[in-house]
């Protein structure tokens, strides 16, 4: 019996042929994609690098408090911790030591522990921090840092579940102190030029009044303490570009937390007193006299680069 082809089938075949021919015509008449050059990735220069991922020579074993000396002597991958504020006896300052990474057994990080006993408030602040002095290592902090006067600081922080700051108190975790000969000189105010510091409710960026013509300190809200991730590594990146002259309000600071930009200001007073780009900067867990005994934070993978760290 002879089969019959339906009109629907015929129309479908004709439509398919037309589609193929139309597509071929479009391909033959289409224009080639124009090239506007290759993507050029920045040549990232690393000025400073310290992972805290290993023990060092005598005095830098796991869970062994660091001795108070200058320079610190901890074996970094690039650069040197010059000043160390800690006290093995725990009577005046905090304790710094290498401990096991709480999220990665087998590697280590550094712990900054406020371990001073006694009734609060104590008679003084609780110093527990490390300093790095760029001017002592000019070979590492050359161009483009000396010409652009800018860099990106990246640090991973671990805040325990019970992390808190006492009422009307403070806790500093990062600071740019100004230059040697000014910071540490009794003829000048002894405040960091910039600091990331916790109040009792939030993390703030403070810009010291000494660097402003009217002498008034600026404080900028960054994140509420309750919103800060706990029991996990938190990456903080800070971009710092120095202004044109001392007290000129044309410097730039940007801050990212876990890749999200949380702060940007182009009207900061960031130039040094003399104009040199060489700063003293530091990390730590530096607290006021009201801070509770046993409060700590961990830090690892501290890097300073010429471009945003990938």
pLDDT digit string (tens) for 192-239?
A: 999 999 999 999 999 999 999 999 999 999 999 999 999 999 999 999
Looking at residue 9, its pLDDT comes to: 47
Average the pLDDT over 89-107 and give the result: 89
Residue 142 lies in a domain: yes
Domain count, the chain: 1
Q: Give bridge partners of residue 113 from the DSSP assignment.
A: 95, 296
Q: Is residue 275 part of a domain?
A: yes
Look at residue 138 and tell me if it is in a domain.
yes
- Report if residue 108 sits inside a domain: yes
Task: Decide if 278 contacts 135 (C-beta within 8 A).
Answer: yes
The answer as to whether 12 is a domain residue is no
Please report which confidence band the pLDDT of residue 13 belongs to, taking 50, 70 and 90 as the band edges.
Answer: very low
Domain membership of residue 140 (yes or no) is yes
**Can you give the pLDDT at residue 1?**
46
CA distance 156 to 50: 11
Q: Could you tell me if residue 78 is inside a domain?
A: yes
Please give the structure tokens belonging to residue 152.
């990106």
Parent domain of 201: 46-305
**Considering the domain boundaries, does residue 90 fall inside one?**
yes
Q: Which residues of 252-280 are buried (b: 16+ CB within 10 A; e: fewer)?
A: bbbbbbeeeeebebeebbbbbbeebbbbb
Q: What is the CATH number of the domain that holds 111?
A: 2.60.120.200
pTM: 0.86
d(CA 186, CA 218): 22
């Amino acid at each position: 019996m002879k089969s019959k082809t339906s009109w629907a089938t015929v129309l479908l075949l004709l439509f398919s042929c037309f589609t193929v021919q139309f597509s071929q015509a479009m391909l033959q008449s289409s224009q080639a994609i124009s090239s506007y050059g290759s993507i050029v990735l920045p040549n990232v220069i690393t000025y400073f690098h310290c992972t805290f991922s290993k023990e060092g020579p005598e005095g830098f074993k796991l869970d062994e408090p660091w001795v108070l000396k200058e320079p610190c002597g901890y074996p970094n991958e690039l650069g040197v911790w010059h000043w160390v504020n800690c006290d093995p006896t725990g009577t005046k300052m905090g304790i710094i030591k290498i401990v096991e990474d709480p999220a990665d057994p087998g590697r280590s990080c550094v712990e900054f522990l406020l371990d001073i006993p006694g009734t609060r408030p104590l008679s003084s602040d609780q110093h527990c921090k490390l300093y790095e002095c760029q001017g002592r290592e000019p070979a590492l902090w050359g161009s483009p840092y000396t010409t652009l006067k800018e860099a990106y600081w990246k640090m991973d922080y671990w805040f325990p579940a019970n992390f808190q700051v006492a009422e009307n108190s403070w806790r500093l975790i990062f600071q740019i102190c100004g230059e040697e000969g000014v910071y540490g000189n009794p003829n000048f105010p002894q405040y960091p030029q910039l600091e990331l510091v916790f109040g009792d409710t939030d993390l703030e960026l403070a810009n010291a009044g000494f660097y402003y013509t009217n002498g008034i300190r600026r404080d900028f809200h960054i994140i509420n303490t309750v919103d800060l991730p706990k029991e996990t590594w938190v990456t903080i990146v800070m971009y710092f570009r120095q202004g044109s002259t001392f007290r000129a309000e044309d410097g730039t600071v940007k801050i990212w937390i876990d890749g999200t930009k949380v702060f940007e200001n182009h009207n900061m007073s960031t130039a040094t007193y003399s104009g040199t780009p060489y700063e003293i900067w530091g990390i730590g867990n530096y607290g006021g006299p009201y801070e509770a005994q046993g409060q700590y934070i961990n830090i690892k993978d501290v890097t300073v680069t010429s471009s945003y760290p990938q």
